[in-house]
């Protein structure tokens, strides 16, 4: 029997109830949200259950939504069931003032570097990570460059003609 999105959603809903939500399928990939402090339990369930078998972590990244108070940062996990060739996306939201998420590096060894990169660019603190430090940016950097906290350009510049950029 092929693994269907309906079966995955049913199993997750049975196990976690209201702690998982917002199931949808953009571009044919099942996507859903989990409560912040349940990320590791959901990942472990998806990994351990023989009928789900999501044992390959494709990617971890983050997205900054500055206009969503209390949900400014989203940590996104892409998982793959290699046997049935099914992919899913798990998203966990956190606020920018306490961006603490449990590490998945004990479950997926590949999460080690992905979490370090996500920390480096977005400032997500992966609680329990053995070596959470910058991986691509310099250690002296005191900000997280992919957060949308800075204007795209210096508004005080006088050396640019707005008409040349379609703004005037």
Predicted local confidence at residue 57, as pLDDT: 98
Predicted local confidence at residue 167, as pLDDT: 66
Residues 82-117: tens digit of each pLDDT: 999 999 999 999 999 999 999 999 999 999 999 999
How many beta carbons lie within 10 A of that of residue 138, not counting itself?
Answer: 6
| Distances in whole angstroms, Cα of residue 111 to Cα of each of 77, 119, 168 | 10, 12, 47
Predicted local confidence at residue 21, as pLDDT: 97
Q: Classify 126 as helix, strand or coil.
A: strand
Question: If one looks up domain 5-98 in CATH, what number appears?
Answer: 3.30.460.80
Predicted local confidence at residue 86, as pLDDT: 97
Predicted local confidence at residue 149, as pLDDT: 84
**Pairing label, strands 30-34, 86-94:** parallel
CA nearest to 113, candidates 63, 57, 160, 33: 57
From first to last of its 168 residues, the chain has per-residue pLDDT tens of 689 999 999 999 999 999 999 999 999 999 999 999 999 999 999 999 999 999 999 999 999 999 999 999 999 999 999 999 999 999 999 999 999 999 999 999 999 999 999 999 999 999 999 999 999 999 998 899 999 887 666 677 777 666 766 666
Q: What is the pTM (predicted TM-score) of this model?
A: 0.89
């Amino acid at each position: 029997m092929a693994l269907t999105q309906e079966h995955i959603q049913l199993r997750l809903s049975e196990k976690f109830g209201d702690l998982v939500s917002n199931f949808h399928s953009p571009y044919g990939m099942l996507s859903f949200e989990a409560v912040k402090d349940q990320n590791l339990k959901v990942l472990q369930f998806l990994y351990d259950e023989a009928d789900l078998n999501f044992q390959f972590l494709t990617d971890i990244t983050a997205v900054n939504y500055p206009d969503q108070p209390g949900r400014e940062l989203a940590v996104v996990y892409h998982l793959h069931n290699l046997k049935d060739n099914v992919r899913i996306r798990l998203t966990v939201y956190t606020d920018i003032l306490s961006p603490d998420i449990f590490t998945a590096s004990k479950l997926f060894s590949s999460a080690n570097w992905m979490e370090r990169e996500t920390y480096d660019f977005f400032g997500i603190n992966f609680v329990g990570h053995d070596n959470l430090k910058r991986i691509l940016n310099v250690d002296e950097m005191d900000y997280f460059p992919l957060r949308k906290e800075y204007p795209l350009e210096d508004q005080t510049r006088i050396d640019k003609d707005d008409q040349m950029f379609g703004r005037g």
